[in-house]
Amino acid sequence: MRSVLLLIASLSMLGCSSPTPPGDAAAAPSADAATAGPGHPASTGEAPAVATLGIDPLYAAVAPGGETPARLLNRYVLDLLNHNKAGIEAAWAIAPPDARRADDAALRLLPDVRNLRLDSDPPVPRDEQQPSRLLEVPVRIRATTGEGLFRYHGWYRVQPRTDGQGWQIQSAHLQPTLD
């Protein structure tokens, strides 16, 4: 009886210490982990499958070919410039009922806006989910009005739209910049 128990214990130890078969993709390190750089964390979960499709894991929360955060913000600034209220409200997950209470009220309330320029940096994930469902996009905005030039810096936080085809603004924080 003791010899049978020793045999079972040895076989179970041997099974635990054996290397994984070469075809086991779950145990193999991903190529993305080696190439992950700042702003692009190592892929986990469904991200290796997304990376093999050529999709940036940072944007994997929306459908491939969906609207990027930068495109959303450029469209939003264009709607602000053209006073397109429907487009402005559609860009937000929950549109503020009054422009004076909006997170970016300083930008919305500028009088006689003649030109708006938005420069954005790569988004930064602001949650621990994979893929991230909350991205913060650093921005610099230059507004030309009848009264002069105004500059702002800050960020817009974006989340995936409910249809998964793009992003929508969740919140914003803008500060005036002095030259």
Query: What is the pLDDT, as a whole number, of residue 86?
Result: 96
Four-residue CA torsion sign, 34, 35, 36, 37: positive
What is the rounded CA–CA span in Å between residue 160 and residue 167?
Answer: 4
**150 alpha-carbon distance from chain centroid:** 27
Tell me how many domains the chain contains.
Answer: 1
Task: Tell whether 102 is covered by a domain.
Answer: yes
- Give domain status of residue 104, yes or no: yes
pLDDT digits (tens, 9 = 90+) for 14-69: 454 444 444 444 444 444 444 444 444 444 445 455 455 566 788 899 999 899 99
CATH number, domain with residue 125: 3.10.450.50
Neighbours of 176 (CB within 10 A): 12
Q: What is the pLDDT of residues 79-138, one digit of tens each?
A: 999 999 999 999 999 999 998 999 999 999 999 999 999 999 999 999 998 899 999 999
- Domain annotation covers residue 171: yes
Q: Quick check: is 82 in a domain?
A: yes
Tell me if 109 is assigned to some domain.
yes
Range of the domain at 92: 62-179
Of 55, 96, 91, 86, the C-alpha closest to 70 is 91
End-to-end CA distance of the chain: 86
Q: Are 99 and 105 in contact (CB under 8 A)?
A: yes
Q: Which two tokens stand for residue 142?
A: 């230059």
Residue at token pair 């080696």? 34
Is 55 among the domain residues?
Answer: no
